Amino acid sequence: MSVLAYTENWDGKFKKLSYELVSYAKAIAENLNTETVVASIGAVEEEELKKLGNYGADKVVAAKDEKLKNLANQPYAKTLAQIAEKENATVLVFAHNFTGKAVAPRVSVKLKAGLAAGVTEPPSSYDPFIIKRKVFTNKAFANVKINSDKKILTLFQNSFEIKETENKASIEEFTPELTDADFRTEVKEVNKVTGKILLTDAEIVVSGGRGMKGPEKWENLEKLAEVLGAATACSRPVSDEGWRPHEEHVGQTGKIVAPNLYIALGISGAIQHLGGVSSSKTIVAINTDKDAPIFESADYGIVGDVHKVLPQLIEAIKEVKAEG
Amino acid sequence: MKILLCISNVPDTTTKIRFKDDNKEFDASGVQWIINPWDELALTRALELKEGSGGKIEKISVALVGDKSTEPTIRKALAIGADDAFRIDSEPKDSYYVANQLKELAKDFDIVMCGIESADYTSSAVGGMLSEMLEWPSVSSVSSLEIEGDEVKIRREIDGGQEVVSAELPFVAIVQKGIALEPRIPAMRGIMMARKKPLNVVEPIQADVLTAYESFELPPPKADVKLVDEENVKELVELLKNEAKAI
Ligand SMILES: Cc1cc2nc3c(=O)[nH]c(=O)nc-3n(C[C@H](O)[C@H](O)[C@H](O)COP(=O)(O)OP(=O)(O)OC[C@H]3O[C@@H](n4cnc5c(N)ncnc54)[C@H](O)[C@@H]3O)c2cc1C
């Protein structure tokens, strides 16, 4: 028996998200009194693979097939199902991100394993297997029971604390059995975002709404993001109007983020917007309208004009940072 | 070429979520039901593709797993422009069950489109499960889809960037924001025509259900916001540093 986590890599490197997944899988494995196995796909150096052991991986299984360089849903799912069978995994853990959403449902069918998507904590009970997950676009939680022998979970980002452990990981290479029929999609072009903090990785997100008043008024918002080491985001109308790129759109129909700090500038706090940001640990709102719904979800707020507040905020943060 | 849209019937996005029977069930009283927003965008894109295909795309169908109460949502999809519809007459018990119900129907199509998630149980699973049951390729988080000759050119979002992907037919496209700009609104003529379009009711097949909802919870109420005077921005920064430990 084992608990298997799949950690994707970014140009051969793991991220905080990867370690969060391993820590989470480890917590479940401890409860089940079993091993934590981590699967990796693609070219990752031994030294990087070994790092997964710092967070509880007992064994790392690395599939390095050149054809698996880019994410392809079908062969990735097949590879992971083969690893799961070889390791006799009873619980599989994925991230609740684009990759997890692409692959986990396919693996679920291959293994006939019930899927609980968007979980935020370990199961509340193992027999029966009951786990809490987000539903209704993050407006509520459900306690879902998985009835199949094997279970698949996708973990909502930033919901489980990373724990370091003594490194006991062994590393093993794995050659998946794949045929040409598994490769019926072809990646023609990859455009990676570089030199910017990714919205979904960011500890702090600075976000602008229609109250910013126009695309030419983003300079101070960007400056604030820079002094905080934050990623920038926006509300839907802002991206619809083309003031900001679509990748920045957060909310129910955009990206879901859960940073430590979310700063909403000139955002009214519509229910669809909150669906994508309400899991943030601390929310700050700056808005001229004291009755704006965003203040009901915010922890801290200033009722005022964002363009008057921003320069002062930047200065005050610089001062605090300088104090250390 | 034929395209199938798998749609789901979900509470309007402004719905205040409530539960009943000791939090065992979703309280649907007073809820407005709509086509899941991503599915509506997918349908819009499918119609654009058909219109630009010079007759190459013969038909756009929609399929929904649900009881009779979902028919207004299906009629709306027909009014927007789908040619015909299938309602598989069953409760959508879980993603695995729903994907099984759609499988037989999907086999007759070249492209199956699903939304990246449904606004109710938000599992992001039906499209992926369906593709695996069909043993078809799937491309997920699709933000644009073009058909050039026999090739399908897709833009998909990945964690940390974008990819351009080509896919062989048949395949499943799991779509998200960007696939179409705005959902198409049914015109009067569309609404009239929708009444005459075929809405086929299909008996469900026997299929397993792997998960069950035991109970629901709402997030704990949030403490009141702490307001700081706009002349005193420094205080906000102090609070963020010392109290929230967020910076
Ligand atoms: C199906 C559906 C899905 C949706 N999905 C999303 C989604 O994913 N994400 C999303 O964001 N929205 C989404 N929306 C849209 C949502 O309903 C709101 O329309 C949108 O979030 C509002 O954006 P906003 O807050 O930027 O603009 P507004 O609602 O116009 O708010 C602007 C705010 O700025 C304030 N303001 C004005 N001037 C200033 C100033 N000088 N200083 C400070 N404050 C100022 C105003 O008081 C106001 O509160 C969706 C809608 C639907 C129907």
- Cβ atoms of A106 and B174 within 8 Å: the answer is no
| Predicted confidence (pLDDT) per residue in A47-72, tens digit | 999 999 999 999 999 998 899 999 99
For residues A105-122, give the mean pLDDT.
98
Contacts of A99 in chain B (CB under 8 A): 158-159
Contacts of A240 in chain B (CB under 8 A): 181
**B 127-186 residues inside an 8 A Cβ radius of A:** 127-129, 131-133, 136-141, 143, 153, 157-168, 171, 174, 177-178, 181
pLDDT at A324 over 80: no
Nearest-CA distance A223 → chain B (Å): 16
Residue of B112, B174, B233, B245 best to disrupt the A interface, most CBs of A under 10 A = B233
Q: Whose CA is nearest to atom 41 of ligand 1?
A: A305
Q: Give the number of other Cβ atoms within 10 Å of residue A180's Cβ.
A: 7
Tokens of B202: 């299909």
- Cβ atoms of A78 and A182 within 8 Å: the answer is yes
Nearest-CA distance B94 → chain A (Å): 9
Tokens of A114: 């019930």
How many A from CA of B41 to the centre of ligand 1?
A: 20
Strand intervals (E) in B7-160: 9-11, 19-20, 25-26, 33-35, 59-65, 84-88, 111-115, 138-148, 151-158
Cβ(A225) to ligand 1 under 6 A?
no
Q: What average pLDDT does chain B have?
A: 96
Q: Is A124 helix (H, G, I), strand (E, B) or coil?
A: coil
Residue of B10, B12, B13, B174 best to disrupt the A interface, most CBs of A under 10 A = B13
Cβ(A288) to ligand 1 under 6 A?
yes
pLDDT at A74 over 90: yes
Instruction: Please report, rounded to a whole number, the percentage of residues in chain B having pLDDT higher than 90.
Output: 93
pLDDT at B95 over 90: yes
Q: What is the pLDDT of residue B86?
A: 98
How many A from CA of B14 to the centre of ligand 1?
A: 13
Instruction: Please report, rounded to a whole number, the percentage of residues in chain B having pLDDT higher than 70.
Output: 100
Q: Give the number of other Cβ atoms within 10 Å of residue B1's Cβ.
A: 17
Give the pLDDT band of residue A218 (cuts 50, 70, 90): very high
Classify residue B35 by burial, with Cβ atoms within 10 Å: 0-12, 13-18, 19+.
Answer: buried
Give the Cα separation of B76 and B43 in Å (integer): 11
Q: What is the pLDDT of residue A302?
A: 98
Nearest CA in chain A to B219: A140
Give the Cα separation of B208 and B96 in Å (integer): 7
Cβ(A252) to ligand 1 under 6 A?
yes
How many A from CA of B49 to the centre of ligand 1?
A: 31
Q: What is the pLDDT of residue A192?
A: 86
| Predicted confidence (pLDDT) per residue in A9-41, tens digit | 999 999 999 999 999 999 999 999 999 999 999
How many A from CA of A64 to the centre of ligand 1?
A: 45
Q: Is B170 helix (H, G, I), strand (E, B) or coil?
A: coil
Angle at CA of residue A35, ends A32 and A39, nearest 5°: 120
Instruction: Please report, rounded to a whole number, the percentage of residues in chain A having pLDDT higher than 90.
Output: 92
Classify residue B24 by burial, with Cβ atoms within 10 Å: 0-12, 13-18, 19+.
Answer: exposed
* Least confident segment among A44-53, A123-132, A191-200, B156-165: A191-200
B214 at the A interface (CB within 8 A)? Answer: yes
Query: Nearest Cβ partner of B139 from A112, A185, A249?
Result: A185
User: How high is the ipTM of this complex?
Assistant: 0.96
Q: Whose CA is nearest to atom 18 of ligand 1?
A: A270
Q: What is the pLDDT of residue A198?
A: 87
For residues A204-230, give the mean pLDDT.
97
Q: Whose CA is nearest to atom 37 of ligand 1?
A: A211
Cβ(A153) to ligand 1 under 6 A?
no
Query: Nearest Cβ partner of A147 from B17, B120, B212?
Result: B212
**B 11-70 residues inside an 8 A Cβ radius of A:** 11, 13-15, 17, 19, 37-38
How far, CA to CA in Å, does B234 sit from each of A265, A294, B181, B241?
A: 17, 21, 41, 11
Which residues sit opposite A61 in a β-bridge? A39, A172
Nearest-CA distance B196 → chain A (Å): 33
The set of residues, in sequence order, having a beta carbon less than 8 Å from that of B55 and lying 6+ positions away, is none
| Predicted confidence (pLDDT) per residue in A281-311, tens digit | 999 999 999 999 999 999 999 999 999 999 9
What are the sequence ranges of the domains in chain B?
2-220
For residues B187-214, give the mean pLDDT.
97
Domain B2-220 has CATH 3.40.50.2300: no
